[in-house]
Amino acid sequence: MALVTAICLGLALLVLALLAITAGVRNSDNRAQRANGGPTSIFVAALAYVVVLAPVVIPYGLVLATTLLLIVVIALPAISAGLAVKIRARLGSNARDVYDWAGVLVSFALLAGLLATAGSVVSLMGGLNRMLVTAVIGLAAAGYLLAQGREAASRTSRWTLGFALVIPIILLLGGAVVSSPEVLVDSLVPYEPLPLGSAAALVLAVAACGLLDPSMGTVLRGSAKPGKAALWGAIIAGGFVLVFGIGLALMYGGAFVAPTLQAFLLAAAPPLVIGYFLFFAVFVLASAADTQLAAGSEVAAASISPAKRRPITFVLVVFAIVLAILVPAPGQILAVAAIFAAAAFGAVLPAASGRLPDLAATVGTAIGVVGAAVVALVMGVSSALTFSTATAVCLIVAFAFSLVTSTILGKRQPAAAPVAA
């Protein structure tokens, strides 16, 4: 089985590399438009959220209600990113730096979460070493991004849309054969309802991250109609989750719960079936990872030096690989990034008015993060990192403290003009 897995892993990465390094070969015109990607890039960027956060939901059972929640989880970041385009355009230089670097942190967390997920899935299903798979996928993505950057990621995203739809359609067709729609309402499999606090934490976290997410923001800022691109990206992403969730629930009698024995049924399938699944899984996860890596490195390089994009890409992916290996629970990584994102967005909001200065954004962000850290210590750090009620409280405190701090300090300083986009 390990040999089949290695072959499928290599084929998926080879196809991605060929697509990436040949981006723009046939037509060198309109490179900026191709790098933008449009709704397909938004879909792949949004896909990272549901991949990273699905493990928070699935232990309670993937049923119709939690599928609807995951639709919000995958669609809300795109909507938030669409709303944030005009806000960023009004920011002064200091506030924009805070906004952009917090966005880089979001992309980094999603990248690490995707690599951790890819390593765990391939290890569980295919028997390969988790750490080795994580490193191979991360380095491969960085390798084929070095030449073309976001243009390469945009091309892999366009192909990913087609590949990503294969598995949900197969699940839906298989579920329709082995089950009936009644199980979606009256599940044959017992499960526990997802706590309301966890649902609230998930919604707040993805909203905060989406407002700063550079993988979506760079696409939308380069689009002639950012609102339309965000909406179509959200619709495609929501449709993907709807088909996938309903298909999986039907296949497993109304509720897919993991980790349980039913979650390992696919691992007992014939090697060719597992290999087929792993090829598509690796292709989609690696493409989602390269989207985050390309956007994060581009925004970071723009703040430092555009000429340093390649070394920044390498540094980001190395740190992401290390973090993914050390923290295999991807949700915990994103929880920390979401707190920083909530604090950063609260801190830059006063500057977005155009009347208040932007110098207080850094201080406001720091105060917001410290406030959230205090709440985490009081309510429990483990609870704050696992998308419970404590996580929701930390996000609200981070946003509120940073907003108040930035507003108070901002009124004492001269106004700052927005910088060019």
**pLDDT band of 29, cuts 50, 70, 90:** very low
Asked if residue 343 belongs to a domain, the reply is: no
Instruction: Assess whether pLDDT exceeds 50 at residue 205.
Output: yes
* Domain boundaries, position 170: 2-22+34-330
Secondary structure class of 256 (helix, strand, coil): strand
Omega of the bond leading into 214 within 30 degrees of 0 (cis): no
- The tens digit of pLDDT for each residue in 61-109 reads 888 899 999 999 999 999 999 999 888 888 888 889 999 999 999 999 9
**What mean pLDDT comes out for the span 121-135?**
86
SS (H, E, C) 321-377: HHHHHHCCCHHHHHHHHHHHHHHHHHHHHHHHCCCCCCCCHHHHHHHHHHHHHHHHH
Asked if residue 113 belongs to a domain, the reply is: yes
Q: Which residue from 8, 275, 21, 266 is spatially nearest to 137, judged by alpha carbons?
A: 8
Of the chain, the end-to-end C-alpha distance in Å amounts to: 51
Average pLDDT taken over every residue of the chain: 85
Please calculate the CA angle 66-68-69 and round it to the nearest 5 degrees: 60
pLDDT the model gives residue 34:
54
**pLDDT band of 196, cuts 50, 70, 90:** very high
Instruction: Assess whether pLDDT exceeds 50 at residue 227.
Output: yes
Sign of CA dihedral 132, 114, 338, 332: negative
pLDDT the model gives residue 191:
86
Answer whether 248's CB lies under 8 Å from 262's CB: no
Type of residue found at 202: L
Answer whether 333's CB lies under 8 Å from 387's CB: no
SS3 content of the chain, % helix, strand, coil (to 5): 80, 0, 20
Instruction: Assess whether pLDDT exceeds 50 at residue 12.
Output: yes
Counting residues of the chain whose pLDDT is more than 90, the rounded percentage is: 36
Answer whether 245's CB lies under 8 Å from 50's CB: no
**What mean pLDDT comes out for the span 250-254?**
85
User: Other CB atoms closer than 10 Å to residue 414's CB: what's the count?
Assistant: 8
**What mean pLDDT comes out for the span 193-212?**
94
In whole angstroms, give the CA distance from residue 138 to residue 155.
Answer: 18
Please calculate the CA angle 93-99-101 and round it to the nearest 5 degrees: 100
Answer whether 50's CB lies under 8 Å from 74's CB: yes
Asked if residue 346 belongs to a domain, the reply is: no
Asked if residue 229 belongs to a domain, the reply is: yes
What CA–CA distances, in Å, run from 127 to 124, 281, 349, 381? 6, 15, 48, 33
Cα dihedral 174/179/185/188 (nearest 10)? -120
Asked if residue 391 belongs to a domain, the reply is: no
Q: Which residue from 304, 274, 338, 312 is spatially nearest to 52, judged by alpha carbons?
A: 338
Mean pLDDT lowest among 145-149, 183-187, 202-206, 254-258: 145-149
**pLDDT band of 372, cuts 50, 70, 90:** very high
Omega of the bond leading into 39 within 30 degrees of 0 (cis): no
**What mean pLDDT comes out for the span 354-367?**
79
Asked if residue 10 belongs to a domain, the reply is: yes
pLDDT the model gives residue 403:
92
Mean pLDDT lowest among 13-22, 65-74, 236-245: 13-22
**More confidently predicted of 34 and 391:** 391
Asked if residue 385 belongs to a domain, the reply is: no
pLDDT the model gives residue 379:
92
Answer whether 202's CB lies under 8 Å from 73's CB: yes
174 burial (CB, 10 Å; 0-12 / 13-18 / 19+) is middle
Instruction: Assess whether pLDDT exceeds 80 at residue 30.
Output: no
Asked if residue 390 belongs to a domain, the reply is: no
**pLDDT band of 279, cuts 50, 70, 90:** confident
Instruction: Assess whether pLDDT exceeds 50 at residue 11.
Output: yes
Mean pLDDT lowest among 140-154, 158-172, 379-393: 140-154
Total structural domains within the chain: 1
Counting residues of the chain whose pLDDT is more than 70, the rounded percentage is: 88
Q: Which residue from 229, 263, 325 is spatially nearest to 59, judged by alpha carbons?
A: 263
User: Other CB atoms closer than 10 Å to residue 260's CB: what's the count?
Assistant: 17
Beta partners for residue 62, in sequence order: 256
Tell me the range of 97-111, 257-271, 285-299 where mean pLDDT is highest: 97-111
Instruction: Assess whether pLDDT exceeds 60 at residue 27.
Output: no
What CA–CA distances, in Å, run from 217 to 12, 16, 221, 292? 27, 23, 6, 11
**More confidently predicted of 374 and 122:** 374
Beta partners for residue 257, in sequence order: none
Secondary structure class of 62 (helix, strand, coil): strand
